[in-house]
Amino acid sequence: DGYVKGMGFEILSSLINIVNPRHIAQIIGSSKAKFFDLTPHVKLHRTIHIAETSGKSVSLTPPMSRVTSLSSMPSMHSMQDTSMHRSLSSSALDSLSPIPSSLLRDLRLCVYFLGGYQSFLEIGASFDKGGIVDDENRIAMTLSKMCPYAVPFESIDCIILDEDGGLSQPGNHNIYRELNASIVGLCDKSKSYTCHGLGIVRGVDMVRQLLYILTPVKADILCSNVTSAVRGQLQLPIETRYRGEFSESFPFLCCEGVSIDIGSDEIK
């Protein structure tokens, strides 16, 4: 009947009995149906600390008197009728809305290329449960004012990873076009593609054979350690581009990238 109510609870109970801990911390997520009822494991000299992702918490300890039976303590399921459990779960968990990982990823990427979270705030951008708030295109404006590195084609291997992790063949001119407006890992091929940071391919000059790359990585590290630019499946956050009235047209976006909803899989 499921991992939480079936085999998982039996395994956890066995581990608790073997280890015999004095303190047990239980974190309850956004679903009230997915938690272990650990109150049967409350005994003398043991405290169970129950915390919710909303920040609220409660501790279950047995009464000091040995005469009082532990069976008189409410279980997690019976606590649903008490005001304490309503304050912990019904109000907090029902209203708890997890922020999708894709929105947090976009935030971290923007913060990274802007030079830190303080810089992110100073330009007028903000973040809430709906994602990055930047109606004035301040992020795109700031990035467009940054001076990129001009990298000759012959000085760096350009590689594109497919969804299975396979490598494209370096030297193909189509690769340079596909790298335009994308996130690349700045790697050292001689050290098993050790990544020294990320960059944005801001432009590709096919005539002069130059890549224009924006990155916070220092120039001495780029010159001495970076030999390859590797593009994966991550899409450039839409907030890094001019949009709406600030752009003559909407940017080209690949539909084969990672999910823009939750998780890291493609949208089915």
- Is residue 17 exposed (0-12), middle (13-18) or buried (19+ Cβ within 10 Å)? exposed
48 pLDDT above the threshold of 80: yes
25 pLDDT above the threshold of 60: yes
- Least confident window among 109-123, 139-153, 158-172: 158-172
| Mean predicted confidence (pLDDT) in 109-136 | 92
The helix or strand, by DSSP H or E, that contains position 197, with its residue range, turns out to be strand 194-205
Let me know: does 62 contact 70? Beta carbons within 8 Å.
yes
pLDDT, the chain, mean: 75
Whole-angstrom Cα distance, residue 59 to residue 46? 10
**pLDDT number for residue 264:** 47
Report pLDDT digits (tens) over 64-119.
433 333 344 444 444 444 444 444 344 444 444 578 888 999 999 999 999 999 99
63 pLDDT above the threshold of 70: no
Let me know: does 22 contact 43? Beta carbons within 8 Å.
no
| Mean predicted confidence (pLDDT) in 51-72 | 53
Whole-angstrom Cα distance, residue 199 to residue 39? 51
170 pLDDT above the threshold of 90: no
